[in-house]
């Protein structure tokens, strides 16, 4: 019986330990942004260098995102993408839609269609893009086209950036119903090399607009409100 350890087993254990140490190091450098005041709504959290420089945009591949149309709603209603990305707008309803935007960051329209358009829409300018349907006025959604590639949406009020180099960063919060001048708020945060960072943010969102009534609902309401 050999008294020497199994080389393959030792190598596997060493790799596992190295992986755990790497994971712990990545987690220690991470940033958790906790957003209070948004209720169940997701908000966009974007990350920049402390001087406002964009992060992660060099040599990145273009990503194509999807904003579907289901039950006369855009799904999702809020999307964050990076400048240079594209968005496909499939129509999964059994009726036709006419998608459009008049926003300065992107003006376009997709005339009446059903199914998947032949090509996605390119977004090459940073800014907020508000979507609508020319047939169904109640349909609305927002796309934030960001000049940084490090961004995410909150899940249960929390945005996580698990692998960041130590240093100072600028955090920017976006939401179309955010109560301030430009729909964005900015915060400074420092990430240490040996400890996770957490940033707690309180925001205020305006109430969502009341859903529009259908013709039948409006007629019923008018009859009900008659003296």
- Give the domain extent around 146: 7-222
User: Does residue 118 fall inside a structural domain?
Assistant: yes
Which structure tokens are listed for 66?
């999807």
Q: Are 76 and 152 in contact (CB under 8 A)?
A: no
What pLDDT is stored for residue 6 in this prediction?
52
Q: How far apart are CA 117 and CA 140, in angstroms?
A: 19
pLDDT of 215: 58
Handedness of CA 33, 36, 37, 39 (dihedral sign): positive
The pLDDT value given to residue 181: 54
- Report the domain count for the chain: 1
Q: Is 86 part of any domain?
A: yes
Q: What is the CATH number of the domain that holds 79?
A: 2.60.40.420
Is 31 inside any structural domain? yes
Task: Tell me the two tokens of residue 36.
Answer: 């209070």
> What is the distance between the alpha carbons of residues 185 and 169, in angstroms, rounded to a whole number?
14
Question: Which residues does the chain have with pLDDT short of 50?
Answer: 1-5, 7-27
Confidence at residue 69, expressed as pLDDT on a 0 to 100 scale: 97
**Does residue 1 form part of some domain?**
no
Write down the pLDDT at residue 18.
Answer: 38
Residue 102 pairs with which residues in a beta bridge? 107
Task: Give domain status of residue 2, yes or no.
Answer: no
Q: Name every residue whose Cβ is closer than 8 Å to that of residue 222 and which is 6 or more positions away in sequence.
A: none
Contact present, 196 and 221 (Cβ < 8 Å): no
Nearest to 104 by CA among 88, 127, 84: 127
pLDDT tens-place string over residues 104-150: 999 999 999 989 988 999 999 999 999 999 999 999 999 999 999 99
């Amino acid at each position: 019986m050999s008294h020497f350890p199994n080389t393959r087993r030792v190598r596997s254990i060493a790799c596992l330990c190295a992986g755990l140490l790497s994971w712990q190091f990545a987690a220690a450098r991470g940033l958790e942004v906790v957003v209070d005041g948004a209720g169940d709504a997701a908000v966009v959290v974007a990350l920049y260098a402390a001087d406002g420089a964009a992060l992660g945009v060099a040599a990145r591949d273009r990503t194509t995102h999807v904003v579907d149309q289901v039950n006369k709603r855009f799904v999702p209603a809020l999307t964050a993408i990076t400048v240079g990305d594209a968005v496909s707008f499939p129509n999964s309803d059994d009726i036709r839609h006419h998608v459009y935007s008049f926003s300065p960051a992107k003006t376009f329209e997709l005339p009446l269609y059903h199914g998947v358009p032949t090509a996605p829409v390119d977004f090459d300018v940073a800014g907020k893009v508000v979507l609508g349907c020319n047939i169904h006025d109640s349909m609305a959604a927002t796309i934030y086209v960001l000049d940084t590639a490090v961004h995410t949406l909150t899940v249960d009020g929390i945005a996580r950036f698990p692998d960041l180099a130590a240093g100072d960063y600028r955090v920017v919060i976006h939401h179309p119903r955010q109560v301030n001048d430009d729909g964005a708020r900015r915060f400074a945060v420092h990430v240490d090399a040996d400890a996770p960072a957490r940033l707690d943010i309180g925001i205020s969102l305006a109430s969502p607009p009341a859903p529009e009534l259908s013709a039948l609902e409006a007629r019923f309401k008018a009859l009900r409100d008659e003296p």
